[in-house]
């Protein structure tokens, strides 16, 4: 005869894993700030759940699940209430049913919560770009339509454009000057989901053209600022560059882009009018991106940080 199964010994979260989750929460699930191998494995496991393909939850299913939970709680309360009638013994099967309902509710709610978190991050990122756009317009109005350009970039324009080394050059200094001069807040020059968390490298900005002045009216309706360039982020970190070109700010699901006319949009693929905004003209693959590139010519929408 089979021995009875003891349901009391359910799976429990180990102390080490619980501590890892606590540390990940404290660092905002930022991989760049994780310095513990166990924490990296836990973060990788959580990201597997995040990438698991799910369909949008049906609100009626959620309502039905919550109704079942309420009914189960009422039934349990009535069974455990003290009165003159003989009390019925609580069975393990009762707890098993409640646990099954709770797991079902978690399975329905988890994808919905993940989707809500991603949508909120995208919205906050877009709002930062709108604030940044207002700062750029104000800066251009005060500087004869010129866009901010760091001293190192100005030097590269005269007398002859030089090569740019993306392993050492910090293009984000152009946006940093906006917050320093009070045209926008420091947090407006970065995406809240940026893996770098450095502020100066969070958003990518249009690289000035070698044959045109760096003016707001010259940029026009072309891409001006966007989420971080994934090719340069991986190259600077010394990590291999894959074939996917969407920004890491939003787990490579897409990127927010601000155009020179002040509009902000979401691009699933970082291509505008056939031009990849994360690659200079002449580079057709991310893994072929050189460290040294020349300043682009007019029409190339190459954004860097």
Domain extents for the chain? Answer: 15-117, 124-304
Q: Is a pLDDT exceeding 80 seen at residue 252?
A: yes
Q: 35, 30, 22, 37: which is closest to 248 by C-alpha?
A: 30
Question: What is the per-residue pLDDT for 7?
Answer: 47
Q: Is a pLDDT exceeding 90 seen at residue 47?
A: no
Residues 6+ apart with CB under 8 A from 268: 246, 253, 254
- Best-predicted range by mean pLDDT among 25-34, 245-254, 265-274? 265-274
183 and 138 Cβ atoms separated by less than 8 Å:
yes
Question: What is the per-residue pLDDT for 198?
Answer: 43
pTM of the model: 0.60
The tens digit of pLDDT for each residue in 204-237 reads: 888 888 888 889 998 989 999 999 888 887 777 7
CA pair distance 290, 165, nearest whole angstrom = 9
């Amino acid at each position: 005869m089979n021995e009875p199964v003891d349901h009391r010994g359910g799976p429990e979260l180990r102390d080490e894993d619980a501590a890892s989750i606590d540390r990940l929460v404290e660092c905002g699930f930022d991989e760049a700030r994780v310095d513990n191998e166990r924490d990296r494995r836990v973060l990788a496991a959580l990201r597997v759940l995040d990438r698991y393909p799910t369909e949008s939850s049906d609100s009626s299913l959620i309502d039905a699940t919550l109704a079942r939970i309420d009914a189960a709680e009422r039934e349990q309360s009535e069974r455990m209430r003290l009165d003159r009638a003989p009390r019925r013994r609580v069975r393990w099967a009762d707890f098993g049913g409640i646990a099954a309902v709770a797991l079902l509710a978690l399975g329905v709610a988890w994808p919905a919560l993940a989707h809500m978190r991603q949508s909120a991050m995208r919205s906050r990122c877009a709002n930062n770009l709108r604030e940044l756009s207002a700062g750029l317009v104000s800066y251009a109005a005060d500087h004869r339509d010129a866009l901010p350009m760091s001293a190192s970039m100005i030097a590269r324009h005269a007398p002859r454009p030089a090569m740019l080394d993306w392993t050492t050059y910090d293009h984000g200094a152009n946006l940093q000057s906006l917050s320093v001069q009070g045209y926008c807040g420091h947090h407006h020059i970065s995406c809240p989901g940026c893996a770098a968390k450095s502020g100066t490298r969070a958003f990518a900005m249009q690289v000035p053209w070698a044959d045109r002045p760096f003016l707001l009216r010259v940029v026009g309706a072309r891409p001006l600022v966007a989420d971080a360039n994934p090719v340069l982020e991986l190259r600077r970190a010394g990590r291999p560059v894959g074939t996917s070109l969407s920004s890491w700010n939003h787990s490579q699901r897409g990127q927010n882009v601000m155009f020179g006319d002040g509009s902000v949009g979401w691009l699933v693929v970082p291509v505008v009018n056939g031009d990849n905004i994360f690659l200079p003209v002449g580079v057709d693959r991310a893994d072929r991106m050189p460290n040294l590139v020349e300043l682009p010519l007019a029409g190339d929408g190459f954004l860097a940080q």
